[in-house]
Every structure is written in C-alpha cells, then in structure tokens.
C-alpha cells in the first residue's frame, strides 16, 4: 500500500486556546499512529492567530513524547528563517530523543507575511538565495564530521536525520532532483504545477548517498464524515480560512458555517475551489472515488493529508475514516 501520512498545523480553532490546539495535535498523532499512518509532520508558520506550530521543533518533541512508532518531523522548517547550525542542533536533539523516527522537511518560503519574515530573517534576499548552499551545510552538520572540523552540531553530528525538500513550484522539483533528496509537493494548496513538478523530479533525479531512486510525496486536504453533507459542512472552515488569507485577515481557525453563500464573492469562490480542487471531502464512498482517481493520475510514492476541521473529535474521526478508505481503495487496486 502507498503510505499515508498526516500534515498538521496545530490549528487554534475559534473559541479555543493554543494549549488546546497543541493537545489536539498530540491526540491527532496518536490516532494516526493507531490507524497505521506513516508520518506526522508539523509546519512552521509565524504571526498567524490560527496556527500554534511556530516553534516547530518544540511541537515535534511534544508529539514525539506522546507516541511510540510513527515518524515525526517537519513539513516543513522554512530554512531561510534560521541558521543551518540551529536547525541541526534542534533536529539532532529530536533524533537523540526519538531515535530513527525523525524527518526534516525543508522549505524556502517565509511561512508568514513579509513584515514578520523581515523580523525573523533580517535579510530576506540573502536567505532565499543561499537556500541550496544552506541545505548542503545542514547535511554536513548532520553527517560525519571531518577530522579537525571546527563547526559542530551537538547534538546533530552523525545523526543522519533524513532531509526532505518541500515545494510548490518547478524550482523545488529541479533542486530536489539535483540533490538526490526525497521530495514533497504542496498540492494541497498549490495544485497547478503538481504533475509537471513530479515529472521533472522523476526524470532528472540524481541518485545520492541517501537516496537511490526518486521518492515523491504529494499533499491533499481532506474532511471526511459519515455523509457528504456533514463533510462539506466541516470543510467550510478551510474555505473561510483561505478567503481570510486572500483578504489579509488574520484570525483563529473559523467555525464551520451552513453555507458559504454571502461569505465569499464569486471570484473568491472560483479561486478557492481551484486552489482546493484536490481536496477529499465527503463520505467514505465519495472520497474513495476521488482518491482512486487522484492516485492513478499522480502515482505518488506517498500521500500526506491535512485535516482542516474545527471540531477535534470530528478531525480525529476523519483520520479514522480515511484510513478505512485507504485500505479499501488500495486493496481494490
């Protein structure tokens, strides 16, 4: 079976606190582990009242301490926001705490607005331009040190934490292929170049010391329930969130609404539906058909799923329902 994984942003739902959001992330990871998901990744975002995973390595440690077998990691760390040495130390520490379970997914986007990015990075242009070099430096810091090497990551050196490259453009596909890294494409919010990116990555992949053949993971959003109407209701929270992003409104993750009519304009509806066109929304039966079509079209090596549902119990149930769908679809195939 194609492995399924979970991408979580520790959403701070309207009416709830950051503490509750972080507790919900742990419960989500535990549910995913129990239902056979492969990885549980957390994403770095800053300055967003609806997201509690800004200190991503800290949240990964929280999740790691409450699980036993599922892989944990970042989806991703926005490397230009940090020095490679700091990330090597953080993820070397996580690997020391949870041996053989840690992944380090890297992106080059800011993960926030430009003002906050300026406060994080100080030099935006230099951070983006040095991204390939910073990846190589990070690999060195996590690997075997040379004799007499002065710059050491402790913990970190000799940990060999697996590095993934994340992206939503053709640039990331070219870079992941050139470096021989596993690749995760953010088709859950940037679907337009998915097929081209996957093709480029596979065609141009150069085997490396860490990866012999290409491995691509693609993202989708999902909201499953016992019936289609309930699932669509849950998914209005994500639709509202995307409308708010386009309006530059920063707020907690919204409660679902009975209808999006009057919430978005026609242009906003078209844009959001286009952006989220790969989303798996519906009952088990409905999602099974959508999932089968998507997997046949893209043929990924792995699928990573974001569950943007306001109610925690419903979010956990959605994870369970998708696990059932995964087994049924792939056994049929």
CATH architecture for segment(s) 4-332: Alpha-Beta Barrel (3.20)
Cβ–Cβ contacts within 10 Å for residue 324, how many?
A: 14
Q: Where are the domains of the chain?
A: 4-332
- What are the structure tokens assigned to 37, written together? 């998901």
| pLDDT reported for residue 199 | 98
Cβ–Cβ contacts within 10 Å for residue 64, how many?
A: 22
Give me the mean pLDDT over the 63-84 stretch: 95
Task: Tell me how far the alpha carbon of residue 212 is from its chain's centroid.
Answer: 23
Q: How far from 174 is each of 132, 138, 168, 181, CA to CA, in Å?
A: 11, 19, 12, 11
| pLDDT reported for residue 115 | 75
Give me the mean pLDDT over the 142-156 stretch: 95
For the stretch 219-258, pLDDT in tens is 999 999 999 999 999 999 999 999 999 999 999 999 999 9
- DSSP symbols for 206-260: ---SS-SS--EEEEEEEEE-SSHHHHHHHHHHHHHHHHHHHTT---SBPPP-S--
Q: How far from 149 is each of 85, 140, 152, CA to CA, in Å?
A: 14, 11, 7
For the stretch 282-333, pLDDT in tens is 999 999 999 999 999 999 999 999 999 999 999 999 999 999 999 877 555 5
Q: Quote the radius of gyration of the chain (alpha carbons, Å).
A: 19
Output the CA angle 54-197-77, nearest 5 degrees: 15
Give the residue ranges of DSSP H helices in the chain: 18-34, 56-65, 84-97, 114-121, 124-129, 131-142, 170-179, 194-204, 228-246, 266-275, 284-298, 312-332
> Which range is least confidently modeled, 5-19, 112-126, 194-208?
112-126
- What are the structure tokens assigned to 323, written together? 């696990």
Residue 80 and residue 62: Cα distance in Å, rounded?
Answer: 24
């Amino acid at each position: 079976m194609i492995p399924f994984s979970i991408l979580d942003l520790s959403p701070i739902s309207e009416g709830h606190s950051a503490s509750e959001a972080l507790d919900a992330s742990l419960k989500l990871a535990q549910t995913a582990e129990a239902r056979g998901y492969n990885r549980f990744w957390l994403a770095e975002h800053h300055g967003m009242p609806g997201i509690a995973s800004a200190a991503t390595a800290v949240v990964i440690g929280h999740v790691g301490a409450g699980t036993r077998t599922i892989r944990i990691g970042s989806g991703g760390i926005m490397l230009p926001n940090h020095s490679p040495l700091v990330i090597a130390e953080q993820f070397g520490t996580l690997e020391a705490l949870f041996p053989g379970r840690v992944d380090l997914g890297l992106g080059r986007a800011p993960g926030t607005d430009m003002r906050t990015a300026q406060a994080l990075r100080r030099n935006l242009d230099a951070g983006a331009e040095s991204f390939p070099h910073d990846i190589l430096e990070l690999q060195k810091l996590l690997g075997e040190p040379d004799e007499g090497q002065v710059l050491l990551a402790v913990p970190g050196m000799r940990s060999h934490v697996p590095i993934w490259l994340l992206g939503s453009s053709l640039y990331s596909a070219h870079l992941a292929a050139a470096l021989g890294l596993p690749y995760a494409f953010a088709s859950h919010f940037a679907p337009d170049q998915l097929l081209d990116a996957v093709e480029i990555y596979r065609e141009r992949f150069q085997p490396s010391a860490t990866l012999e053949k290409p491995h691509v993971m693609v993202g989708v959003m999902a909201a499953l329930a016992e019936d289609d109407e309930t699932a669509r209701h849950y998914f209005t929270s994500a639709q509202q969130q995307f409308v708010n992003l386009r309006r530059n409104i920063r707020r907690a993750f919204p409660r679902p609404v009975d209808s999006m009519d009057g919430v978005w304009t026609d242009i906003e509806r078209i844009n959001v539906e286009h952006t989220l066109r790969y989303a798996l929304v519906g009952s088990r039966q409905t999602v099974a058909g959508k999932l089968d079509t998507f997997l046949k079209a893209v043929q990924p090596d792995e699928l990573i799923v974001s569950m943007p549902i306001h109610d925690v119990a419903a979010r956990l149930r959605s994870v369970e329902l998708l696990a059932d769908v995964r087994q049924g679809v792939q056994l049929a195939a």
